Structure 1
Amino acid sequence: MLSATELRATLPRAEIDVDAALHQVRPVVEAVRERGVEAVLEYTERFDRVRPASVRVPRAEIEAALTTLDPAVRAALEEAIERARKVHADQRRADVTTTVADGGTVTERWVPVERVGLYAPGGLAVYPSSVVMNVVPAQVAGVGSLVLCSPPQAEFGGRPHPTILAAAALLGVDEVWAVGGAQAVALMAHGGTDTDGAELVPVDLVTGPGNIYLTAAKRLLRGLIGIDSEAGPTEIAILADETANPVHVAADLVSQAEHDPLAASVLVTTSEELADAVDRELAGRVAATKHTERIGEALHGKQSGTVLVSTVDEGLRVVDAYAAEHLEIQTADARAVAARVRNAGAVFVGPYAPVSLGDYCAGSNHVLPTGGYARHSSGLSVQSFLRGIHVIDYSEEALREVAGKVVALANAEDLPAHGEAVTARFPGGAE
């Protein structure tokens, strides 16, 4: 049996070198810091092959995008928003006051981040669902000021995709910037002045997935701004036994491979027969689907593959070591097996909870940790937009009671002035 260290080294994983992208991103970030919107528009023209008239999208254009939205898509987005709000509403935190001693309390107060920048990518696909997943928890948390960034599209006159704008309108977001990639993160961090003279106010926190250059910019600017995570290519792992339907398994592996040639699709199974049946199903399904080339590259890349295990228990060790962004459990007694999972961004239980459901309409959030980060990090939630502040309130007598212990610890750490800050309040002695 492989050790945890050996498992981590052996399991398939996309090779993403964010550090290598930093040298390409650093000049972009510096240029935006020094020259603001002018630099943003220059890089936008170079990378997106369009130069918007302004960074900020006029409110009338956001509202107009909603009027032309396909009614079926609008209904689907409205359902996704409603379910996401329902789930995220239960994540709200209440202030808690603990009485430590008579006259001495500590209150943990939850305060939303003041201003947040939310990113919706616009590369190989259009992601109005990412608008929903970023905006809803921020709004539920009580964030007062939101700006949504999404890359401008030459096809749409230098504005973000109309479906992105329509999703923003449905959510009540009226500040949208037509900017993508590293320059978007830099502009959100530093702010600037738009082409019409209007201020583009910097943010305190940036959330949302993007390509490696956006991720590198997040890493470079972390500290000046908060970030949610350094998102890499999407991942799905499926833990399955002989009871799983190979059609379901193959369809779900393909669904995530559809995102990106670097997407990871990993099957962990106790059944060699299932693995063979899935391979047969994949051959026909990949050939028949729309993005055949992209999917085939992802499924045949070193980040994807099948892992045979002898038992479901061993399979759990493997998927916990892998710590997938999305983990499906398609086994007998799937709910009990899922309850034993420790490391995953989100867990999908049984044959009728595919990852696609979570991408859109489960009510859960699809902005999740990738690259093994699920071992220590969570997906986007209301908590991502809140800060816990301890409020310490002690009376004179409550401080007097503990003064001697504060002094003892201060002296033990050779920080006598710490103790003197207490004893100075009691000229006659604390005891």
Structure 2
Amino acid sequence: MSRPLSVGVAGLGTVGAGVLKVLRDNAGLISARAGRPIAVTAVSSRDRHKDRGVPVTGLRWYEDPVALVADPGVDVIVETIGGSEGPARALVEAALAAGKPVVTANKALLALHGRKLAQLAEAHNAPLAFEAAVAGGIPAIKAVREGLAGNDIRRVAGILNGTCNYILTEMRLRGLQFAEVLAEAQKLGYAEADPSFDIDGVDAAHKLAILAALAFNRPVDFSELHVEGIRDVSAVDIEMAAALGFRIKLLGIATRTEAGVSARVHPCMVPLDAPIAHVEGVFNAVVAEGDAVGRVVLQGRGAGAGPTASAVVADLVDIARGRTTPVWGASADALSAAPARPMSSHRGAYYLRLMVVDRPGVVADVTAVLRDAKISMESLLQRGRAPGEAVPVVMTTHECEEAAMQAAIRRLSGLDAVLEKPALIRIETL
């Protein structure tokens, strides 16, 4: 058997410690699959004395993670520090520039700096692997980049953030408001003390940017994404969705057409007969559509020590075997230059909820605005009567253009009978 692959791990938080544990617990199995042992020999973390649930005695220890790169006994760098800047970026750039393979779980780093990192990796013939950056233990990266390599992929989408999926699931099952479920999720450890990256859609957008680059063999560009979160989804919307035969999910959706590529993250209403409607709690799902294979759906745990470490180790096995592939699926000179399409050009159906004063003529005023915007209404729900008080009016539309809908929303917001900002959720039939 070949000599062991020597690994330096930077960052010994949940994921880094999980990598050490998986490599030790499954050492024999991993060695057989990798063709040689894989052993962590050096680490970098700020606190040498913290109990991480896994022994670190006997490992070479560096205060500065970049110093791992200069260690001649380290063959490959595993970056689990996190963050798009600072030590994580410095470490990955230094390792690639030195020609050392890198395995990372850092979706923010890849989404924001993936173009430069891919250029570094190609220039120095250094593998950059990142299976753990998207959907945790689900092998989404390999499925899209390698498993579907023979397909013309036109769409990739999914539930890419377990925190948001958990919140929306609990809101539906228990009839609670967003703020109540968020507070519970924080107590349970499903949401951070500052949950903005999750609930505002940024985390899901980082992952979608990576998936879109892989699916369409195109350089990653986070600035092209349209991003909305779930703060404005109310218990009323959850209830109305059920009445209309939908469930609300935060989805990331990237589509390629002859006109270019669109990529967007926002709450969606999906029909109850769609498989993705039944992905609940903290689970993630990835859907890819290829011309030869049709629709492929992958589902599983998208976060946590075990699932994420599993994905990191899978990348290490590939490196041990010498299996590498270009970062975005093709060399830089073969990548697509397809233009980005703005959100205003999106076409689809919509759910629209207005809180209005219950008085004669209000619905007529609303439908007149939609008519003037050339938006065709498919259904209308108005439950109960409360003359002179606020009541919800819910409509769904036929397919129309986003720009027209946004113009209609601005006019509807100006009606004196409309008491708050209209709620708009796009309808998607995945």
**Shared fold by TM > 0.5?**
no
Structure (1 or 2) with the greater helix fraction: 1
Structure with the bigger percentage of strand: 2
Which TM-score applies when normalising by structure 1? 0.27
Whose relative contact order is higher, 1 or 2, with alpha carbons under 8 Å and at least 6 apart? 1
TM value normalised by structure 2: 0.27
